[in-house]
A = this chain, B = another copy of it.
Amino acid sequence: MSTNGSTMPSPQVLYNLENPVFCCYLFWATVLVVKMLLMSLLTALQRFRYKLLGLVPLGLRRKIFPNEEDLFFKNTEVQFNDPHVERVRRAHRNDMENILPYFIMSLIYISTNPDATVACNLFRVASLARIAHTLVYAVYPVPQPSRIIAFGSMLLITFYMAAVVALRTLSFI
């Protein structure tokens, strides 16, 4: 595993900024991390019910919090079942179920030294599909099959990467 430097060739290092595939991964993984973290803020927004598309009059605003210490205002109660809040939370959970395994899968996929054009476009399509997923699920609900298409795009890309990696490392089972 360790090399002597002078006579042996240097080991191939794929996880640094000289590898354009890794750089492309860095950019789009960062976009998805930011998107995921914004879901927390979107949930908080929904808890205060400032609607994203048109402000609601002050009297109709509702504050829905799951913990007693979160009740900033006197006229509120602990509540769990607001449909707008729960929708954002389901979208957030779906992100965790899909994007977090994708982060690991695409990171280790880079170690197989894939073709740069293929790999970069997979990263781009998967990331844009998940942004679309959030828009049609949590921001502005749109009839199916828009969400299933967005969901399936990243799923299929992750399965493709899994197939590539598993076939390459099958002898280490």
**Interface residues on chain A, size class:** 35 or more
- Given the known A-B contacts A10-B3, A15-B15, are A108 and B40 also in contact in the complex, defined by CB atoms under 8 Å? no
Residues of B within 8 A of A26 (CB): 108, 111, 165, 168-169, 172
| B40 x A98 contact (CB < 8 A) | yes
For residue A36, CB closer than 8 A to chain B, the reply is yes
Q: Identify which of A10, A70, A86, A87 gathers the most chain B CB atoms within 10 Å of its CB.
A: A10
- Given the known A-B contacts A30-B162, A165-B30, A173-B27, are A141 and B12 also in contact in the complex, defined by CB atoms under 8 Å? no
Residues of B within 8 A of A122 (CB): none
- Given the known A-B contacts A5-B8, A27-B173, A87-B67, are A97 and B96 also in contact in the complex, defined by CB atoms under 8 Å? yes
Residues of B within 8 A of A14 (CB): 1, 15-16
A-B pairs, 8 with minimum CB distance: A11-B13, A5-B9, A27-B169, A24-B172, A23-B172, A26-B169, A5-B10, A33-B101
